């Protein structure tokens, strides 16, 4: 029997509840497809930090490095200094394993869920390839003379040729694979008119594009891209963009596809251990209330299965989620509209019926 090793990091807030539903779905699919999954759970997050003073130890990174993938719930808790756990755990995993692609599909399953008038599933179907290891996230900079009138705060945006090229190349490969409408297209989103350092993106994009004569290219500045994503989402196929813009653009994308309740992401280094997570946060106010929507985590499990070489299982989940959202059984993707475990059960029902498979 095929067997896979994954790490599970539920994290903070609603992380635990949404991950629980994701794992129910994973177990069901494993049984249907005839593979097994060995899961190692890790307790890292705010509770663990407050009890022990430890964020995430070296030994955990080493252990995860031996696995195929990691499923993460959410990190962030108001009891802990802003950003500290996010940097240690989310950014820690992204950096340690050089997960240079943050793959974020923006796909609308049912017109009812779209906040944009007259737009349906055929209009909202794109993938954002967010660079995931550089930019303002790299941590170069700091705060000096803190608390004085002379205080200076600096955060550098870093782009390396290798870092930019590999993610752009991934975007082109992904567009070829997706082959949307038999006319693949990659759009570069940047702010090279104001941030001239991003000229490295402009030049590298043009060079890589020349190797893909069958892929159409397009360009939008980030401010305009936000507008087009709402006005004409059908214009996009694959979008490639630096880290910070990708972070912002994909929250907008999540709304266009129906809400944070359904938006998933893969932090990927092709062929190596990678991390999958919902793009929403930890929503501490909903913790333990069985209100959070687990569909984004279920979608993250789907992406994880694709990564670890179980496309049949990934397809089952994709079809089940599609069926559930098209059927109108879920009236809203917002927290509290349905119980967390109720949505898990609805998806499991669809899986057991084998919809679309
Ligand atoms: C995301 C999140 C993270 C990010 C935060 C929690 C550091 O917003 O994955 O989109 O900015 O990358
Ligand atoms: Mg974000």
> Annotated catalytic, 212?
no
- CA neighbor of 124 nearest in space, from 237, 251, 247, 249: 237
**297: domain range?**
1-100+269-357
Residue 158 DSSP symbol: B
**CA of 281, closest atom in ligand 1:** 6
The per-residue pLDDT for range 27-46, each reduced to its tens digit, is 999 999 999 999 999 999 99
Statement to judge: residues 114 and 174 lie in one domain:
yes
Please, which pLDDT band fits residue 355 given cuts at 50, 70 and 90?
Answer: confident
The per-residue pLDDT for range 173-208, each reduced to its tens digit, is 999 999 999 999 999 999 999 999 999 999 999 999
Domain end among 225, 247, 262: 262
Mutate to test the pocket of ligand 1, among 9, 72, 90, 139 (most ligand atoms within 8 A of CB): 90
Length of the chain: 357
The per-residue pLDDT for range 131-173, each reduced to its tens digit, is 999 999 999 999 999 999 999 999 999 999 999 999 999 999 9
Q: How many Å lie between the centroid of ligand 1 and the Cα of residue 267?
A: 11
Statement to judge: residues 196 and 87 lie in one domain:
no
Statement to judge: residues 276 and 232 lie in one domain:
no
Statement to judge: residues 177 and 38 lie in one domain:
no
Contact in structure between 239 and 249 (CB atoms under 8 Å): yes
Statement to judge: residues 88 and 114 lie in one domain:
no
Return the pLDDT at 357: 83
Give the CATH number of the domain where residue 277 resides.
Answer: 3.40.718.10
The per-residue pLDDT for range 48-88, each reduced to its tens digit, is 999 999 999 999 999 999 999 999 999 999 999 999 999 99
Residue 274 DSSP symbol: E
- Based on the number of CB atoms within 10 Å of its own CB, is 349 exposed (0-12), middle (13-18) or buried (19 or more)? middle
Q: Report whether residue 90 contacts ligand 1, using a CB cutoff of 6 Å.
A: yes
Return the pLDDT at 214: 97
Statement to judge: residues 114 and 220 lie in one domain:
yes
Statement to judge: residues 171 and 308 lie in one domain:
no
Q: Which residue has the higher pLDDT, 19 or 332?
A: 19
> Annotated catalytic, 247?
yes
- Based on the number of CB atoms within 10 Å of its own CB, is 216 exposed (0-12), middle (13-18) or buried (19 or more)? middle
Statement to judge: residues 2 and 143 lie in one domain:
no
Statement to judge: residues 331 and 216 lie in one domain:
no
Is the pTM higher than 0.95? The answer reads yes
Statement to judge: residues 183 and 114 lie in one domain:
yes
Domain end among 217, 242, 262: 262
Statement to judge: residues 66 and 168 lie in one domain:
no
Return the pLDDT at 104: 98
Domain count, the chain: 2
The per-residue pLDDT for range 287-325, each reduced to its tens digit, is 999 999 999 999 999 999 999 999 999 999 999 999 999
Q: How many Å lie between the centroid of ligand 1 and the Cα of residue 305?
A: 22
Statement to judge: residues 165 and 307 lie in one domain:
no
The per-residue pLDDT for range 86-136, each reduced to its tens digit, is 999 999 999 999 999 999 999 999 999 999 999 999 999 999 999 999 999
Q: How many Å lie between the centroid of ligand 1 and the Cα of residue 137?
A: 10
> Annotated catalytic, 216?
no
What beta strand segments (E) does 233-281 contain? Answer: 238-241, 264-268, 274-278
């Amino acid at each position: 029997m095929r067997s896979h090793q994954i790490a599970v990091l539920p994290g903070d807030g609603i992380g635990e509840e949404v991950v629980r539903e994701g794992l129910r779905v994973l177990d069901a699919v494993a049984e249907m497809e005839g593979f097994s999954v060995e899961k190692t759970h890790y307790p890292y997050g705010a509770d663990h930090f407050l009890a022990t003073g430890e964020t995430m130890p070296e030994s955990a990174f080493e252990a995860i490095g031996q696995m195929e993938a990691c499923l993460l719930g959410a990190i962030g808790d108001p009891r802990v200094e802003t950003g500290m756990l996010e940097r240690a755990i989310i950014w820690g995993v992204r950096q340690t394993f050089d997960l240079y692609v943050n793959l974020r599909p923006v796909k609308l399953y049912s017109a009812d869920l779209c906040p944009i008038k007259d737009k349906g599933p055929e209009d909202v179907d794109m993938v954002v390839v967010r660079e995931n290891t550089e930019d303002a996230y790299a941590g170069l900079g700091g705060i000096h003379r803190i608390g004085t009138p002379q205080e200076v705060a600096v955060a550098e945006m870093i782009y390396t040729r290798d870092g930019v090229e590999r993610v752009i190349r991934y975007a082109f490969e992904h567009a070829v694979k997706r082959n949307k409408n038999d006319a693949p297209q990659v759009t570069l989103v940047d702010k090279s008119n104001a941030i001239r350092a991003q000229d490295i993106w402009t030049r590298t994009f043009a060079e890589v594009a020349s190797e893909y004569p069958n892929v159409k290219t397009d360009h939008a500045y980030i401010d305009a891209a936000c507008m087009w994503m709402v006005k004409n989402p059908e214009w996009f196929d694959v979008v490639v963009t630096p880290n910070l813009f990708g972070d912002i653009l994909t929250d907008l994308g999540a709304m266009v596809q129906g809400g944070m309740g359904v938006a998933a992401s893969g932090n990927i280094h092709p062929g190596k251990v990678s991390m999958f997570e919902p793009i929403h946060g930890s929503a501490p106010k909903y913790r333990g209330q069985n209100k959070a929507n687990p569909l984004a985590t279920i979608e993250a499990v789907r992406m994880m299965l694709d990564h670890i070489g179980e496309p049949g299982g990934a397809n089952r989940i994709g079809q089940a989620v599609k069926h559930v959202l098209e059927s109108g059984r879920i009236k809203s993707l917002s927290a509290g509209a349905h119980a967390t475990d109720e949505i898990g059960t609805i998806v499991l029902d669809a899986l057991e019926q084998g919809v679309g498979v």
